[in-house]
Amino acid sequence: MTKGLIIVISAPSGAGKTTIYRELLSRMPGAVFSVSVTTRKSRKGEVDGRDYFFISEKKFRRMVSGGQLAEWARVHGHYYGTPKKQLRDAVSSGRDIVLDIDVQGGRKIRKQYLSGVFIFILPPSLKALEHRLRNRGQDDEQTIRVRLENARKEISYITDYDYLVINDKLNEAVEQARSIITAEHARISRLKNEISGFKKAQAGNA
């Protein structure tokens, strides 16, 4: 059985990453989303096990010390992390698993999972990003400025990723990301068992 792929998607806030990965999952039967663990309290509408696994700080620390997390970070006073078991179970069962994480987390995953697929999402320009941040009406002026500055820093890590998808038109961006994943499944280096079986069958028929 062909192994599943670990697919990391990162982007500056406002680039449309969440919309893209949700659309991807709807168009990729069998693919799953990597649900992070966090020590923060759940917000209205969030469901444990679907949006996050909400755990205590004590349990989170045990997971860190036990080597159970592929990556973790402290953000705004709370801990977030990616359980290794989720990645292992998905890959071994032949299911692709999509991770929605920032560039720091992406770099940590890259060091451990060299066969992962790393996709960076960008808007057409920083001006377009600013326009989207202002239009969604979620942030005050200071927060918008911080997000734009963070975007500039995150873009500097783009060479740590394999692919760049420009999110100008949503459907085209989603299809481009899906094409990348389809191509990765056909990569020769991932199909050694299939190729070996083909060669054996060919030898047997000689």
Position 41 in a domain: no
For residue 139, what pLDDT band results from cuts at 50, 70 and 90?
Answer: confident
Position 87 in a domain: no
Q: Which residue has the higher pLDDT, 198 or 127?
A: 127
Predicted confidence (pLDDT) at residue 106 exceeds the cutoff of 80: yes
**Cα–Cα dist 11/121, whole Å:** 5
Position 88 in a domain: no
Mean pLDDT of the region 105-122: 94
**Cα–Cα dist 186/2, whole Å:** 10
Position 176 in a domain: yes
Dump pLDDT digits (tens) for 144-197.
Answer: 888 899 899 999 999 999 999 999 999 999 999 999 999 999 998 888 766 766
Position 120 in a domain: yes
Domain count, the chain: 1
Position 57 in a domain: no
Dump pLDDT digits (tens) for 27-72.
Answer: 998 999 999 999 999 988 899 999 899 999 999 999 999 999 999 9
**pLDDT more than 90, % of the chain:** 65
Q: Which domain CATH number covers 110?
A: 3.40.50.300
Give, in order, the Cα–Cα distances in Å from 189 to each of 13, 91, 98, 176, 185. 34, 16, 21, 22, 10
Mean pLDDT of the region 13-28: 92
Give, in order, the Cα–Cα distances in Å from 114 to each of 31, 32, 118, 121, 193. 20, 20, 10, 20, 18
Which are the contacts of 15, defined by CB distance < 8 A and separation ≥ 6?
121, 122, 123, 129, 132, 151, 167
Q: What is the pLDDT of residue 76?
A: 72
Domain around 119: 6-34+96-205
